[in-house]
Amino acid sequence: MKRMKGGAFLLESCQPEDVFTPEDLNEEQKLIAKTTDEFIREQVFPLLEQIEQQNFSHTVRLLQEAGELGLLAADVPEAYGGIGLDKVSSTLITEKMAQGRSFALSHGAHVGIGTLPIVFFGTEQQKKRYLPALANGKKLAAYALTEPGSGSDALGAKTTAVLQEDGKHYLLNGEKQWITNSAFADLFIVYAKVDGEKFSAFIVEKDFPGVSTGPEEHKMGIKGSSTRTLILQEAQVPAENLLGEVGKGHLIAFNILNMGRFKLAAGTVGTAKRVLELAIKYALERKQFKQPIASFPLIQEKIATMAIELYATESLVYRTAGVLDQGLSGVEQKQGQEVAKAIGEYAIECSIAKVVGSEMLDYVVDEAVQIHGGYGFMSEYEVETHYRDSRINRIFEGTNEINRLLIPAALIRKANKGELPFFARAQGLQSELMNLMPTLPDPQAAPLTLEQEQINHAKLLFLFVAGQAIERYGTKLTEQQEMIRDISDIALSIYTMESTLLRAAKQQNQSKPNATSHLQFAEALIYNRMQKLEQIARHTLTALFTGDTLRVQLAILRKLTRIEPKNELQLKRNIVKQLLKAKKYIVQSRS
Amino acid sequence: MEILICMKQTFDTEEKIFIQNGEIDDDGVERIINPYCEYAVEEGIRIKEAHGGTVRLITIGGAEAEAAIRTAMAMGVDEGYRLDLTDFPADSDEQTTSECIVQLIKQKQIPYDVILCGYMSIDNGTAQVGPRIAELLGIPHISTITSLTVDGRQVQVERDVEGDLEKVESSLPILLTAQQGLNEPRYPRLPDIMKAKRKPLHRMKWDELRVDVQMIQARTKKVAILPVEEKETGQILSGTIKEQSQELIRLLHEEAKVL
Ligand SMILES: Cc1cc2nc3c(=O)[nH]c(=O)nc-3n(C[C@H](O)[C@H](O)[C@H](O)COP(=O)(O)OP(=O)(O)OC[C@H]3O[C@@H](n4cnc5c(N)ncnc54)[C@H](O)[C@@H]3O)c2cc1C
């Protein structure tokens, strides 16, 4: 596999052999997925109702059981009591766990934002002291960044840390808000400003003097997870519990978010699979007008579209897992900061996955409720919980707005550092575009040939729109948030389309039995996104130009987003057959 | 204690069966450890945990069967043998399978105090291989066991006899076949999954065995493979007993046309 730089997918082409797909899992990875799946279905499912009532003793005991199975140890190096698995395996664990709703959030917060700061930035001593117990579940972790006055603007935190005169303790003062796992966490990663200025991170044990938590919040969803304030009143934290360097807390916070975002996306795949299964089974059982509602084309279309969107996220999540593993190959696991840096290279991909995954899941749960009709509005139906639980994903780990703002900024930073040839490519683009000749559809051509060309055009479109916006506004582009959002959305679409295309093409190249089915999913997804791209780009171009110049730019836009008409109605009717037959999400053409 | 397990890989119970040109289409299907064999694997590992020793395992199958062997290793099996019958130049049946397994045991001198098998495989469902192996090895066998205690060289067994319980005692060496209820198979722990790939797995082809194809080829002949007809949903009659009986007679007469 060829290794690509972060964000390079926007500028370069990528081959099917270079991407990882869910069809490439090896035996160990399949077994890891199976163990997780069985653990959730057999141990967690029967207790979900009680967990929903905040019976946290179940959560804690199940996390310890998960620890015994090794399900908390994937991202912890062997040297510190973990298993140090590849990122594909750790993605699979997150995906399968996600079916466990609130329990999955408790798990995710512990293994992700709770444990990883120590894995990446802990000193040798801190790692030896804390990681073995975190990896086996004897101790549970939480992450305390947010405050009442600072959410998205995390660096605006007011919590302070002052080193006492004897140099042995920091005194922390402040209040952290909405801290997942706070009811039962043994330790918190807390961000505070040393001397009110230097943003820094600390490992704070719950039993340190001056540490307490507030009452449980009443939430819209994920009700079975614990969310409280963390109160620090003259909290005494030993000096050796400073995590990383004074004033370098932002590095920790931002690096942790990359994995946090990626894991969130992996979770949306698992939840969406569960929800789609619920929706399909319900549609097959519920009869109206003397037939199962699954026989109505409008219901079938919903199921097909949900599955296509899920396929797309699944493709891009596993592609990204593969990209992370490539980036990490050759990096010594024990060198936490090196690992964090290698992952940070793919911050753009992690943000994209977070946004795409959370929006996919919200779409899927919404349609699943719709398929359930009034029953979907009733709490006895599992789908009702999923509908409420899903909503948080667009808010935490950086709101989707914040993530959309980050993507172009990260790209421009890389371009300025000379890591990506963005400006070189953007130059001379105009003449390239003027001379662009559309290729005509060739019935003899291999499947996905047209789609591949459309994606190439979408990449040109990205350069074109982003290039024009930067040329016009320069560093002031940050004020044009709508344009940045548009540019992000183009990047999102490209990564989504290309990940589905490469996955389907890989099955095709390897003559896999289900390749035809993959082709259908990819074609449907790309057809949909190409149409949206035109709208998105038009929105920004129309704000950048007027009159004749605008007309010329829009003509280029039309050339770049030209697609052959496709009978989408029929395509979806074909796709839905396998889903109804299997009674769950499946990419299969055996029949 | 030397423990030997004979295990088969089968289709996942959730797979639909498709028949193409008179053969079962196995392209791209999900496979699992035959559930009865999984009880055998679990029991073998438990014996080892209680008494020490080594758990070995034999599977007949192609490369795809290694997934099942690795799973069993992740559960705790120490060493595996995969015997490949691909290109066997004659028809094969339970006769072939058991002769091959016994040849393998003898040729490789695989030691055993206890041999554990699933009592049947969920695909062919003949329940013959276990007893045949015992016969060929000349050791006692007890089938469909639901409980096992090993005490020195003595074994006490509870077995399921068409729903009744029978208690049997015997001594090692012995072959036992596992029935549902024997135990609850564990999920492999992640560290054990990672260790499994480093455990020894020996691969052999049938022609490396000293077997006489004429002797061990199938003694039965497969005439046809047919799909099970899908059951239609039943009808529940309502009304008084009298109305129900009248309706039943009418349906049997007019719709089912059996009266
Ligand atoms: C259930 C739950 C669990 C949580 N768990 C944790 C946890 O374990 N640890 C932790 O530290 N935090 C946690 N959080 C906090 C979470 O990370 C924050 O809610 C999130 O970062 C958003 O901050 P905020 O809620 O203050 O929203 P705000 O930052 O006030 O944002 C409000 C709106 O303004 C938009 N906005 C903000 N800034 C900009 C901008 N520059 N440009 C355009 N739009 C902008 C946002 O996108 C959003 O739509 C949790 C929150 C919830 C609800």
Q: B174 and B96 in one domain?
A: yes
> Ligand 1 centre and the CA of A391: distance in Å?
13
CB burial class (10 A; 0-12, 13-18, 19+) of residue A57? exposed
- CATH number listed for the domain at residues A250-401: 1.20.140.10
> Based on the domain organization, do B190 and B162 belong to the same domain?
yes
Three-state DSSP class for A580? helix
Average pLDDT, chain B: 92
Contacts (Cβ under 8 Å, ≥6 apart) of B179? B36, B39, B119, B143, B144, B145, B146, B159, B160
Does the pLDDT at position A583 exceed 80? yes
Say if residue B161 is in the same domain as residue B253. Answer: no
Domain residues for B247? 234-259
Q: Are residues B16 and B79 in the same domain?
A: yes
Whether the pLDDT of residue A394 is over 90: the answer is yes
Question: Cα of A392 to ligand 1 centre, how many Å?
Answer: 10
Report the alpha-carbon distance of residue A267 to residue A296 in Å, rounded: 30
Same fold, A8-140 and A420-434+444-582: no
Same domain, B134 and B181: yes
CATH classification for the domain delimited by A420-434+444-582, as one of 1.20.140.10, 1.20.1270.360, 3.40.50.10600, 3.30.460.10: 1.20.140.10
Q: Mutate one of A31, A83, A514 to test the B interface: name it (highest B CB count within 10 A).
A: A31
Residue A589: the pLDDT is: 63
CATH number of A8-140: 1.10.540.10
In this prediction, residues B141-147 reach a mean pLDDT of 96
Superfamily covering domain A143-247? Butyryl-CoA Dehydrogenase, subunit A, domain 2 (2.40.110.10)
pLDDT tens for each residue of B231-248: 777 788 888 999 999 999
Instruction: Say how many C-beta atoms besides its own lie within 10 A of residue A71's C-beta.
Output: 25
Q: Is A201 in the pocket of ligand 1 (CB under 6 A)?
A: no
* Neighbour tally for B11: CB within 10 Å: 17
Q: Is residue B73 a part of any domain in this protein?
A: yes
The alpha helices in A393-480, defined as continuous H runs, are 400-416, 422-426, 429-434, 449-473
Q: Is residue B226 part of a domain?
A: no
The domain locations on chain A are: 8-140, 143-247, 250-401, 420-434+444-582
User: Which residues in chain B have Cβ-Cβ distances shorter than 8 Å to A581?
Assistant: 16
Q: What is the average pLDDT score of chain A?
A: 95
Work out the end-to-end distance of chain B between its first and last CA atoms, rounded to an integer number of angstroms.
63
Cβ <8 Å between A32 and B190: yes
- Same domain assignment for residues B45 and B105: yes
The confidence score (pLDDT) of residue A118 equals: 98
Beta-carbon contacts of residue B17 (< 8 Å; ≥ 6 apart)? B11, B24, B227, B228
Question: Is residue B12 situated within a structural domain?
Answer: yes
Q: Are residues B178 and B258 in the same domain?
A: no
Q: Is B160 in the same domain as B240?
A: no
CA distance A396 to A5: 27
Indicate if B38 and B130 belong to the same structural domain. yes
Does residue A284 sit at the B interface (CB-CB below 8 Å)? Answer: no
Residue B250 is assigned to a structural domain of this protein: yes
Is pLDDT of A380 > 60? yes
CA atoms within 13 A on the CB side of A256: 31
The helix/strand/coil state of A204 is strand
- The interface predicted TM-score of the complex, written ipTM, equals 0.87
Q: Do A35 and B197 touch (CB under 8 A)?
A: no
Q: Is the CB of A422 under 6 A from ligand 1?
A: no
Please check the confidence at residue A591 and state whether its pLDDT lies above 80: no
The predicted-structure confidence for A269-279, as pLDDT tens digits, reads as follows: 999 999 999 99
Counted domains in chain B = 2
- How many angstroms separate the CA atoms of A206 and A186, rounded? 5
Provide the 8-state DSSP code for A113.
Answer: I
Q: Are residues B141 and B241 in the same domain?
A: no
Query: Which pLDDT score is estimated for A96?
Result: 98
B225 domain-assigned: no
| Interatomic CA distance for residues B177 and A526, integer angstroms | 54
Q: How far is the CA of A115 from the centre of ligand 1 (A)?
A: 21
B197 touches chain A (CB under 8 A): yes
CATH number of the domain at B168, please: 3.40.50.620
Which A positions 76-95 lie with beta carbon below 8 A of chain B?
A: 83, 85
What confidence tens digit (pLDDT) does each residue in A79-111 have? 999 999 999 999 999 999 999 999 999 999 999
End-to-end CA distance of chain A: 33
Q: One-letter amino acid identity for A535?
A: Q
Return the number of other C-beta atoms located less than 10 Å from residue B149's C-beta: 12
State the residue for tokens 């560290």. B191
pLDDT at A150 over 70: yes
Domain check: are B116 and B41 in the same one?
yes
- Quick one: DSSP state of residue A44? I
> Coil, strand or helix: which one is A270?
helix
Pocket test for ligand 1, best of A101, A115, A399, A485 (most atoms within 8 A of CB): A399
What value does the mean pLDDT take over residues A272-291?
97
Residues B210 and B238 in one domain: no
